[in-house]
Chain A
């Protein structure tokens, strides 16, 4: 199915947010996630089902002022 990951259109055959992170190379990384603008805690990623057209944000520590 087609998803939007950090603003880019991708195609992934996954059912949950946890699966997507694994497939896209985020396994074990310190990241925070949101789906369609709503925060999804790490503890809920395995239960968070994805559907075509969902917009996923994966954020990590970055420089800031």
Chain B
């Protein structure tokens, strides 16, 4: 697996921490999947409840890498300010950069994304940009200093899987040395396996696990699928063909008609 800003992950499963039925189930999902990265966010804290403090203790105990996001940010300034706040709270230079451009699809505003990525990388951040499979945008992000790309599989929370296999395959071919993460849109482990078979380095998901009837079991399923897809990619898969080709040797077959 390719490194993520010099960090070699134990596996390519990055798991979100939102929408679980309970903190205990969240922890169980991480335990059973052995996910190596937890995505987290920042939200308004109440001085009376201090709910964020308990959550942070839970995440710290997981012993995984923490990837804060700028979810919900719609402008460059908002995303950059949130990133600075996240760096201080989580004590990491990693930031999952989201600059949302459209409400129905939560599609990234790629123009704002590139601008924010440049500002943040110049300020020492290690940016994980939530982007599309657009090769030109991807190239601009790399020029802005990003060393990882995170194209969407499908709109966030949709569970539709890999909407544009051709575009994702082209991205892998175009950037052979860049760590690529499928971020968002996965609904089933088979889709994660497909992503890894395409040669992607990791997947980032949340809703598919958190909203499953048994989140921990689904997390384990994703981990197994990810491993299967990764092995398949390493094994150099056969080339598909349109017509049948007998797998059983025809030489030596008895003449019985």
Q: Which of B20, B50, B71, B184 contacts A60 (CB 8 A)?
A: B50
A residues less than 8 Å from B241 (CB atoms): none
List of B residues within 8 angstroms of A33 by Cβ: 85
Query: For residues 46 through 100 of chain B, which have their beta carbon under 8 Å from a beta carbon of chain A?
Result: 46-48, 50-53, 55-56, 59, 68-69, 71, 77, 81, 84-86, 88-90
**B89 & A29 in contact (Cβ 8 Å cutoff):** no
A57 to B207, CA, bound (A): 28
Q: A63-B17, A64-B39, A65-B16 are in contact. Are A39 and B55 (CB under 8 A)?
A: no
Interface assignment of B42: CB less than 8 Å from any CB of chain A: yes
Chain B residues with Cβ below 8 Å from A37 are 77, 81
| Nearest-neighbor residue (CB-CB) of B209 within chain A | A65
Which A residues are closer than 8 A to B by beta carbons? Answer: 6-7, 21, 24-26, 29-34, 37-39, 41-42, 57-65
Measured in the bound complex, the distance between the Cα atoms of B133 and A2 in whole Å is 47
Closest to B49 in A: A25
Option from A21, A29, A32, A58 in Cβ contact (under 8 Å) with B86: A32
Assess the B206–A65 pair: CB atoms within 8 A. yes
Measured CB to CB, the residues of B under 8 A from A are 16-20, 26, 39-48, 50-53, 55-56, 59, 68-69, 71, 77, 81, 84-86, 88-90, 156-157, 184, 205-207
**Most chain B CB within a 10 A radius of its CB, from A6, A31, A59, A63:** A63
Classify the interface of chain B: helix, strand, loop or mixed: mixed
- Cβ-defined partner of B42 (8 Å) among A24, A41, A59: A59
Partner of A65, one of B39, B45, B47, B48: B39
Given contacts A29-B53, A30-B52, A30-B53, contact A62 B41 (CB under 8 A): yes
* A14 and B55 alpha carbons, distance in the complex (Å): 29
17 interchain pairs (CB within 8 A)? A6-B45, A24-B47, A29-B45, A30-B52, A30-B56, A31-B45, A37-B77, A60-B56, A60-B89, A63-B17, A63-B18, A63-B41, A64-B18, A64-B40, A64-B41, A65-B41, A65-B184
The 7 closest A-B pairs by CB, nearest first: A60-B52, A64-B41, A25-B47, A65-B16, A65-B206, A32-B85, A60-B45
Which of A26, A29, A58, A62 lies in contact with B40, CB distance below 8 A?
A62
Residues of B within 8 Å of A60, CB to CB, are: 42-45, 50-53, 55-56, 89
B15 to chain A minimum Cβ distance, whole angstroms, is: 9
Q: Is the CB of B18 within 8 A of A34?
A: no
